[in-house]
Structure 1
C-alpha cells in the first residue's frame, strides 16, 4: 500500500471505506501489491482550487518530489489511485528517469490508503510549491486546463527544498531518482 496523508480539505472530497481505501468503481489501476508498505509510500496531499478547478497536489515525504493532478471532477476523486499513478509515472518521465527507474517505480505501485496524519515540514514544502504553482499560472496568464501537469511537477522538482533535521537542501528530482535506484536491488 501507498500511504497518503491528506489534508482535511481533501479528505472531505474522498469517498473512503472503513479501511481508509477509496471506494472505486473501476478495478485497481495497475498494481495491487498487498505488501504492508510500498517503498514509495509516504506522501502528503492537498486539494488546491485554482481558477475554480479542483487540483490535487502530492508531495513525497522523504524526497519532496511533487505530483499534480488538475481539473478533477467529483467522480475522479473515487479514482484517485489512477490519477496518482498516472501523475507519478509521467512526471518521472519528464524528470529524466531511465528505464530501470521507471520499472522500479512501476513495481512499487500499490493501492492508496489515506489518513489525516501530517508532518508540518512536508506541509510547509507543499504550501511553498503550491504558491510557486499559483504564481506561475498568474504571472504567465495560463489557464489551469491548459497547464501541463507532468511538466509542472518536474519543474517544481528541479528546485532545492529545506527539510527539518537535514543540514542544507535536498533536490527532489535527484532524491526521487536515487530512491528508485534502491528499489529492486
Structure 2
C-alpha cells in the first residue's frame, strides 16, 4: 500500500528522501486503488491527517495525532482504513483481503498537481462537515460516511460518489468479473426498531430497519422522517441504566443547550458521535423526546437483528397519525381532536386550516423510503413532497 504524502507530512513523520518509493505506476486501476494520498491539515485549529484513496477519492481522517501516533503511523493507517470500511458495512473478509492485496505500507511523494488538487478538495469537504469530527478519538468514524457521499467531478467525466466507487473496486477483491456487483462486499447488521409515541389511548408507532453503525444523529433524522415531524424543536435521547447513572444523548454541544443539562444526574454524550451498536447491544430500549414544550416522548425498542447487503434505513410499517406540531402537548392534542371531530364547533374551520401545515401528511411507503436515503447527510422538513 503506497501512501503518497505531502512534504509537510513527510517532515512530520521524519521520513527521509532516501526512504521514499517511486510514486510512478499508481495512476491507473488496479494500482491506484492500492494507493492513498495523505496530507496533514489544520481543521478548526487542530491537526488532522487526511487520507484520500487515489482511485475512489474516498477520504478518511486521523484527528489530532500525537507524537506517539506518528511513530506508529503504519498501524494507525491500517486501523483507520479498516474502521472506515467497517462503518460502511464492508465484510471483515473483504477488508482483510484488501489489506493483504495492498501489502506492506510504503511512502512516497505526491504524484501530481492534479492529485494534490483532489486531496485539497477532500480537505475542504471535511472542513465543511467538521462538526462530525470527534475530538475524543483519533480515528474518525462518521465523517467518512458523509464525505463519501459527496459527488466528485473530474474533467468531462460523469460525476461519481466515492463510496459507490469504493464498493465496486472492493468487489474485485472477491474475484467478481463484473465490478458493478457489490452485494457480496457488504454484510450489514440491521436493527429492527419499533418507535412508539407514548400517548395514552392512542396507538401511534413506526417500524424501521436501521444499520447498527448509524449514529443517534442518524436515528433522529429517521424518526423525523417517518413521523413527518418538522425538525423545528430541541430533542434528546435517554438511556436508563441500572448499573450507573442514566445516559443522556444530546443533539449538540451548543452552550445554550449544555447550560440546562444536569451533569450530576446524567452522563452526557453528543448524538453524532454515539453509534446505535454502542447502546442497543446492551440496552434494548431508548426514550426519545422531541419538542420540550409539547414533550412528545417516543419509546424506541429493539425487536430483532437481521442481516442485509444494503447500507440504508428502511421504513417497514406504521400505525396512527402523529399529533400536529405545536398543538400544545397531550392536553392540546385532545382538545384538537375534539374540535376536529365536531363540525359545529365554532373553531372547527379555523382549526382545520391551521392543522393543514402542522399535521402529518399522508406519504406513501415508497416516498418515505426515498426520503430515508438522505438521512445520512441530515434532515430538513420540506413542504414539497
Q: TM-score, normalised by structure 2?
A: 0.39
Query: Within 1, Cα distance between the matches of 2:84 and 2:34?
Result: 17
* Rg larger for: 2
Q: How far apart are the structure 1 equivalents of 2:169 and 2:40?
A: 26
| Counterpart residue number, 1:108 | 101
Where in structure 1 are there 5+ consecutive unaligned residues? 22-36
- Quote the RMSD (CA, aligned, Å): 2.6
Greater length-normalized contact order (CA 8 Å, ≥ 6 residues apart):
1
- Kept in 1, the 8 Å contact 2:134–2:140? The answer is no
1:83-127 deviation per Cα after TM superposition (whole angstroms, max 9, x unaligned): 111111111112232345334224335322111132333322222
Q: Which moved more, 1:41-50 or 1:112-121?
A: 112-121
Residues 160, 143 of structure 1: alpha-carbon distance in 2 compared, 3 angstrom cutoff: closer
Partner residue in 2 for 1:54: 47
Mapping for residues 1-185 of structure 1, pairs under 5 Å: 2-16=1-15, 18-20=18-20, 40-137=33-130, 140=131, 144-146=134-136, 149-164=140-155, 167-185=157-175
Equivalent residue pairs, number? 165
In structure 2, distance between residues paired with 1:98 and 1:121:
32
TM-score, structure 1 normalization:
0.76
Q: How many Å separate the matches in 2 of 1:112 and 1:104?
A: 15
Deviation string for 1:3-36 (max 9, x for gaps)? 1111111111013364338xxxxxxxxxxxxxxx
Between stretches 110-119 and 154-163, larger displacement belongs to 110-119
Greater share of helix: 1
Q: Alpha-carbon deviation of 1:44?
A: 0.6
Relative to its length, the structure with more strand (as a share) is: 2
